[in-house]
Chains A and B, each alone.
Chain A
């Protein structure tokens, strides 16, 4: 053994990106690193970025799959703008990601994959980027990952192809060593995952250990790092993605109210995982229904709501297009249901795996007639849980459909989630206690304007509902002009009234600044980080982040009135911006981005600076 010459540095936070072919197992590698880091007590934030194609041609740029994780000893809210370390499994992965690596960053490449054919597939032509000096600004570590993995796992007796497939664990071993992480958790995971295939199990464990040991003994890294524990509030934690949180929130809401959960959905990226999560929860009384299309999915959901269930449907933007007519029916019949829209880049099919916030106006106004419905938007992956409960609370209290606007970034991004105590969960009250002697289908609760939730099977409450305009109180079909005016006004007033029943808009950052940043939904982490950093660096800015889009919280006008300048930041071409201008008659400046990617803190800082001068 040679004397160790490496130096060990302690960092507050680090960002790693694993990138390779979609078949290279990069999502798995990233998830393993995330779980181990979380268990060590780091705060974490992740951003998976994968192609829509299941297997795009191997070695090409469109087939590159990436997973970014930031882990820290401090409180963090974003997966990091740019990675400090990039692991590139082939030339295409290098090409797609190298522009993001910080100058001086560490680049680990699988040198075996840089043959002529792969270089050509990645459109590098005859020039090998490992040879032409173009990577000189980085610390490049070239490792023949494929060959070394094959050698390391030889004893397991797999064929060459299967042996080479273990290289993601070899790479994980390298990075575990680099950041001083233990391997036990991943070893245990491999044992569980491949419990039925001892050969594969052994090979992956060998690869992980070999990668770790190689980094140790060959001293391939000049420096290694430690990222100590974060100071998180005490409690039991788990990692959670937005889609997992949303699914659990729907289940929790139904259990709190002692109702069965029905979830009607048609598979669509990036919402399908909610269906998958719920489909395995039959023992929680969850009835999932994979419908024949988006329209049937919401139709069945409305049917289940009419039948007295806690009913939800989930989709993405193109699915909302198809569901729009039925959403209008839910407004007209005033039935409680939750509509989850995991937004993705549009219009049309757009970029299914890429995030965007461009369905706000669609869910606000994308229906025929004046058709108001409640709209909420969780700010973090973990908040998808609480917002799912909140959406059901609003739905049944006000007898209205409620839209939850999640997005691809929240849906697939993960963060540590403190497991709540059951007694901390909000309560949801549901009543079907209706007196047949006085029952009228469109009578209203004086305070909420909600109509009664009379459910088939209840004697003496037989009544008819439907999409035709209903007369006030009795609910019979009506073409009376004054009645239509009155019912339209009532539907609007009911939704507007929810404003007093939701938390007020909070100010973050420097409340007494003269500039206010407005944002909503999944961009919270980036905005919060940027605002704090801006103020720490001597800037002076306030921010307010909307979780309730329809109605806006009751104090919104009051908050806006305090500030001279209003900056709107959102991942679309100006939708909240339009609402703010229209509703509050304020001039705004906006930072709008539609690149299928979340905000980078650096670009927000530049925008704040430009507009505060």
Chain B
């Protein structure tokens, strides 16, 4: 076993040249992941990066761990089989908005529902990069691209709401412009037992440049984002504070004044059993709302591979460890002499 305590960020960089476009948000994410790995205390031979197809899915080649670059959209299936074969592995699944929500939407749904103990990082740049610039399932309606010259007529999907609807036990969002926030979020994801889903706002400099600047550019970040902190009220804004309140079943944003009763502000609680609050947060989209980042929801739920192993143990306790001769002779037999 390698000594995980002595590992550094550099130990997680493979000898392969990173080939994303200069300025791509993926570089910052790669650096954040490589920086997070030594902190987890996991020997690197027990870490596996699994990906599908797309720009983000080249990720495993750059990590000095085990890695499997699979086929388009299906990475969750490979990760599931890998965890069934070896539940002790730390499995990181890298996907994108096309890979995870278009061709692989079905598999993502079932991975989240089954709750294998894996970490899913969805790089959302709201565009197809590797195929050179078509609209994706997260592109906004009206998005003009090569495949939608008159604008996309499609309603985009919100990855956080997709994950919540899929019964995900850990749902978070972070962004490539904030290495510190990414690192914190990845550590929380790794610490969660069960499937951790992290949406990462990621800038595609070539085909969807500055898509998130209205939200996360340093000049507007404090006004247009809410960094979710456990037990803290939902408040955005630097000089003028905007608070989030619940009016009936609708979250509304109002300026905080001296008359505001602080106890009426929504206070962040990611561990609520009901998914309703997390869905409120997820529905807060730019420009109507400041956009929340951080952990939306984390609950405890049995992991698939643990439940499966428990069945194996139970069956063996009940019937004994299966022997081939008993299997062959099960049912009616007869002798010929």
**A462 B106 Cβ-Cβ under 8 A:** no
Q: Which residues of A contact B334 (CB under 8 A)?
A: 38-39, 41, 236-238
**A300 B69 Cβ-Cβ under 8 A:** no
User: How far is B71's CA from A325's CA once the two chains are assembled, in angstroms?
Assistant: 8
15 contacts between A and B (CB under 8 A): A185-B332, A235-B335, A237-B333, A237-B336, A284-B322, A289-B81, A291-B77, A292-B107, A296-B110, A303-B50, A303-B85, A307-B84, A419-B333, A463-B67, A465-B69
Among B229-237, B259-267, B312-320, the stretch in contact with A: B312-320
User: How far is B332's CA from A50's CA once the two chains are assembled, in angstroms?
Assistant: 24
Q: Which residues of B contact A236 (CB under 8 A)?
A: 329, 333-336
Q: Which residues of B contact A38 (CB under 8 A)?
A: 332, 334
Closest to B16 in A: A476
Interface string of A458-469 (1 = CB under 8 A from B): 111111111110
User: How far is B84's CA from A302's CA once the two chains are assembled, in angstroms?
Assistant: 11
Sort A-B residue pairs by CB-CB distance and give the 4 closest, nearest first: A466-B69, A303-B81, A299-B77, A307-B85
User: How far is B35's CA from A397's CA once the two chains are assembled, in angstroms?
Assistant: 39
**B89 A307 Cβ-Cβ under 8 A:** yes
Say yes or no for A585: interface residue by CB 8 A criterion.
Answer: no
Between A300, A311, A459, A460, the greatest number of chain B beta carbons within 10 A of the residue's beta carbon is seen for: A300
Given contacts A39-B334, A458-B45, 6 further A-B contacts (CB under 8 A): A282-B316, A296-B74, A309-B85, A311-B81, A311-B85, A325-B71
Q: Which residues of B contact A467 (CB under 8 A)?
A: 53, 69-71
User: How far is B48's CA from A287's CA once the two chains are assembled, in angstroms?
Assistant: 21
**B80 A285 Cβ-Cβ under 8 A:** no
Say yes or no for B297: interface residue by CB 8 A criterion.
Answer: no
User: How far is B334's CA from A35's CA once the two chains are assembled, in angstroms?
Assistant: 10
Q: Which residues of B contact A248 (CB under 8 A)?
A: 327-328
- The B-contacting residues of A in range 362-417, CB under 8 angstroms, are none
**B81 A299 Cβ-Cβ under 8 A:** yes
Tell me, rounded to whole Å, the shortest Cβ–Cβ distance linking A82 to chain B: 28
Say yes or no for B287: interface residue by CB 8 A criterion.
Answer: no
Say yes or no for B60: interface residue by CB 8 A criterion.
Answer: yes
Closest to A337 in B: B81
Tell me, rounded to whole Å, the shortest Cβ–Cβ distance linking B219 to chain A: 39
Number of interface residues of B (CB under 8 A): 64
Tell me, rounded to whole Å, the shortest Cβ–Cβ distance linking B168 to chain A: 16
- The B-contacting residues of A in range 219-249, CB under 8 angstroms, are 232-239, 248
Q: Which residues of B contact A304 (CB under 8 A)?
A: 81-82, 84-85
**A465 B68 Cβ-Cβ under 8 A:** yes
Tell me, rounded to whole Å, the shortest Cβ–Cβ distance linking B40 to chain A: 15
Among A234, A291, A422, the residue within 8 A (CB) of B325 is A422
Interface string of B69-97 (1 = CB under 8 A from A): 11100111111111111101100000000
**B312 A251 Cβ-Cβ under 8 A:** no
Tell me, rounded to whole Å, the shortest Cβ–Cβ distance linking A458 to chain B: 6
Say yes or no for B311: interface residue by CB 8 A criterion.
Answer: yes
Q: A236-B334, A262-B81 are in contact. Are A283 and B324 (CB under 8 A)?
A: no
Say yes or no for B65: interface residue by CB 8 A criterion.
Answer: yes
Q: A285-B322, A299-B81, A300-B77 are in contact. Are A464 and B68 (CB under 8 A)?
A: yes
Among B80, B311, B315, B337, the residue within 8 A (CB) of A234 is B337
Say yes or no for B178: interface residue by CB 8 A criterion.
Answer: no
- The A-contacting residues of B in range 27-84, CB under 8 angstroms, are 43-46, 48, 50, 53, 60-61, 63-71, 74-84
Tell me, rounded to whole Å, the shortest Cβ–Cβ distance linking B46 to chain A: 6
**A466 B70 Cβ-Cβ under 8 A:** yes
Say yes or no for B5: interface residue by CB 8 A criterion.
Answer: no
Among B45, B63, B311, the residue within 8 A (CB) of A456 is B45
User: How far is B83's CA from A406's CA once the two chains are assembled, in angstroms?
Assistant: 29
Closest to B51 in A: A466
Among B79, B109, B331, the residue within 8 A (CB) of A303 is B79
Chain A contact patch, size range = 35 or more
Q: Which residues of A contact B83 (CB under 8 A)?
A: 303, 307
Tell me, rounded to whole Å, the shortest Cβ–Cβ distance linking B38 to chain A: 15
Say yes or no for B2: interface residue by CB 8 A criterion.
Answer: yes
Q: Which residues of B contact A232 (CB under 8 A)?
A: 336
**B327 A465 Cβ-Cβ under 8 A:** no
Say yes or no for B308: interface residue by CB 8 A criterion.
Answer: yes
User: How far is B48's CA from A546's CA once the two chains are assembled, in angstroms?
Assistant: 41
Among A283, A425, A461, the residue within 8 A (CB) of B319 is A283
**B68 A466 Cβ-Cβ under 8 A:** yes
Q: A304-B81, A308-B85, A422-B324 are in contact. Are A466 and B60 (CB under 8 A)?
A: yes
User: How far is B337's CA from A233's CA once the two chains are assembled, in angstroms?
Assistant: 8
Q: Which residues of A contact B84 (CB under 8 A)?
A: 262, 287, 289, 300, 303-304, 307, 309
User: How far is B44's CA from A301's CA once the two chains are assembled, in angstroms?
Assistant: 23
Between A185, A255, A307, the greatest number of chain B beta carbons within 10 A of the residue's beta carbon is seen for: A307
Tell me, rounded to whole Å, the shortest Cβ–Cβ distance linking A538 to chain B: 33
User: How far is B53's CA from A196's CA once the two chains are assembled, in angstroms?
Assistant: 54
**B106 A293 Cβ-Cβ under 8 A:** yes
**A419 B328 Cβ-Cβ under 8 A:** yes
- The B-contacting residues of A in range 286-327, CB under 8 angstroms, are 287, 289, 291-293, 295-309, 311, 325-326
Closest to A40 in B: B334
- The B-contacting residues of A in range 427-481, CB under 8 angstroms, are 455-468, 476-477
Q: Which residues of A contact B109 (CB under 8 A)?
A: 292
**B80 A296 Cβ-Cβ under 8 A:** yes
**B65 A462 Cβ-Cβ under 8 A:** yes
Q: Which residues of B contact A296 (CB under 8 A)?
A: 74, 76-77, 80, 106-107, 110
Say yes or no for B321: interface residue by CB 8 A criterion.
Answer: yes
**B74 A460 Cβ-Cβ under 8 A:** no
Say yes or no for A264: interface residue by CB 8 A criterion.
Answer: yes
Between B1, B63, B322, B331, the greatest number of chain A beta carbons within 10 A of the residue's beta carbon is seen for: B322
